[in-house]
Amino acid sequence: MPAPKNRSSLGRALDLKQGRIDLAHGSGGRAMAQLIEELFARHLDNPFLAQGDDGAVLPGADGRLVMATDSHVISPLFFPGGDIGSLSVHGTLNDLAVMGARPLWLSAAFILEEGFPLADLARIVESMGEASRAAGVPIVTGDTKVVERGKGDGVFITTTGVGSLPPGRDVSGRHARPGDVVLISGTLGDHGMAIMAARENLGFETPIVSDSAALHGLTEALFASGARVHTLRDPTRGGLATTLNEIARQSGVGIVLDEAALPINPAVAAACEFLGLDPLYVANEGKLLAIVAADDADAALAALRAHPLGARAARIGTVQADTHRFVQMTTTLGGRRIVDWLNGDPLPRIC
């Protein structure tokens, strides 16, 4: 996206208070150039974007590269603890982190709906800039398109990330082995319940805040502990239960959880009670699931707990041999049950 250097040729500045996206902003002309310069480049400013070309020239990286991409269509766009912008940055960073990679660069593509308020867009992009800077990973290139009113949900964002994988690291959902220990970095269900509570048609007031965060600092701390890390995941849509079922299937093992060990905030538990939801199936956006060799579990847990994002880290289960690949749980009552795959998005129920 070329950005003309002579600002005065673009005319009046963008009205970031009252203005709205219109089709001209996506048509490649003066309006789009202005949008890029006064909104995107301003908040996402870094040497790569400042090159002002259609693509970013990147320095070479050592060793293997990892690439990941994520699209974000969340509603509501703004919620306690974040917004679609910060979420889109954290989501892709985390996809790289759970591969064991060190994130290097991000791209961001926007599909904007005609009529979308510029004030909201500015807020979102500013949030992305903050998330990117806090993570130390620049957004080096991007794209903007505009669709007619009614053909989009305000804004859709797709982020892609590239990271480098240090030699010797081999983290995969296929590597869980019987005897391994299952660790979680903190409380379950915060993000999903923050979103659910923010939906105005449900009318709940809660102190619940999304846990949206970048996890690559936490993963590096885990690797630095020397623990043999077999699998890493961030349990997003479908919650911990879905993630564990995926891993069990990939690795051909069973998993047994200890319900009493699961860290859950009281407000999240309460909100789930109101709506008949199970925290095991509710999305997280800043939590790390780690499956590690049994002998290294203590060191791994200590490393997580020493990091600000892992203060509530806990040992929650073990991997066992199981041809059926069930994920089971010992309940707080002392009984047993399966923790099955999710059957569609969790919906509030009355019975």
Partner 1 sequence: MCLAIPARVVELRDGDLAVVDLAGVRKEISLALVEDVALDDYVIVHVGFALSKLDPEEAARTLALFAELDGSTAP
Partner 2 sequence: MKYIDEFRDGALARKLGAHIARAADPGRRYHFMEFCGGHTHAISRYGVADLLPANVRMIHGPGCPVCVLPIGRVDQAIRLALDHGVMLCTYGDCLRVPASDGLSLLKARARGADVRMVYSSADAVALARQHPDRQVVFFAIGFETTTPPTAVAIREAAALGLGNFSVLCCHVLTPPAMTAILEAPASAGGVPLDGFVGPAHVSTIIGSAPYAFCAERYGKPVVIAGFEPLDVMQAILMLIRQTNEGRAEVENEFVRAVSHEGNRKAQALVAEVFTRRPDFEWRGLGTIPDSALSLAPAYRAFDAEARFPVAYRSVADHKACECGAILRGVKRPQECRIFGTACTPENPVGSCMVSSEGACAAHYTYGRYKDA
Position 99, amino acid: M
Burial of 65 (0-12, 13-18, 19+ CB in 10 A): middle
Task: Return the range that interacts with partner 2 (CB under 8 A); candidates 123-131, 197-205, 225-233, 300-308.
Answer: 197-205
**Considering only residues 216-275, where is the footprint of partner 1 by CB under 8 A?**
266-267, 269-271, 273-274
Please identify, using beta-carbon distances, which residue of 47 and 344 lies nearer to partner 2: 344
Q: Kindly determine how many residues on this chain lie close enough to bind partner 2 according to the rule CB under 8 A.
A: 29
Site string for partner 1, 179-198 (x = CB under 8 A): ------------------x-
CA–CA distance from 156 to each of 70, 71, 110, 181, 185 (Å)? 11, 7, 6, 38, 29
- Residue 326 binds partner 1, judged by CB under 8 A: no
Among 55, 179, 207, 226, binds partner 1 (CB under 8 A): 207
Spatial CB neighbours of 18, under 8 Å, sequence gap ≥ 6 = 118, 119
Please identify, using beta-carbon distances, which residue of 136 and 276 lies nearer to partner 1: 276
CA dihedral 221, 236, 123, 57 (to 10 degrees): 60
Q: What does 296-350 look like in DSSP terms, one character per residue?
A: GHHHHHHHHHHSGGGTT-EEEEEEE--TT--EEEE-TTS-EEE-----SS-----
CA–CA distance from 18 to each of 15, 48, 85 (Å)? 6, 30, 20
Please identify, using beta-carbon distances, which residue of 103 and 279 lies nearer to partner 1: 279
- The DSSP bridge partners found for residue 338 are 328
Among 65, 119, 275, 302, binds partner 2 (CB under 8 A): 275
CB 71 within 8 A of CB 179: no
Please identify, using beta-carbon distances, which residue of 78 and 341 lies nearer to partner 2: 341
CB of 349 to partner 1, least distance (A): 6
CB of 193 to partner 1, least distance (A): 9
**Considering only residues 277-336, where is the footprint of partner 2 by CB under 8 A?**
324, 326, 328, 330-336
- Residue 351 binds partner 1, judged by CB under 8 A: yes
Length reported for the chain: 351
- The DSSP bridge partners found for residue 103 are 163
CB 259 within 8 A of CB 334: no
Using DSSP, state whether 222 is helix, strand or coil.
helix
> Around Cβ 337, how many Cβ atoms within 10 Å?
12
CB of 203 to partner 1, least distance (A): 6
- Residue 78 binds partner 2, judged by CB under 8 A: no
Please identify, using beta-carbon distances, which residue of 7 and 337 lies nearer to partner 2: 337
CB of 150 to partner 1, least distance (A): 32
Please identify, using beta-carbon distances, which residue of 91 and 238 lies nearer to partner 2: 238
Binding residues (CB under 8 A) for partner 1: these are 197, 203-208, 266-267, 269-271, 273-274, 276, 349-351
Binding residues (CB under 8 A) for partner 2: these are 201-203, 260, 266, 269-270, 273, 275, 324, 326, 328, 330-338, 340, 343-344, 347-351
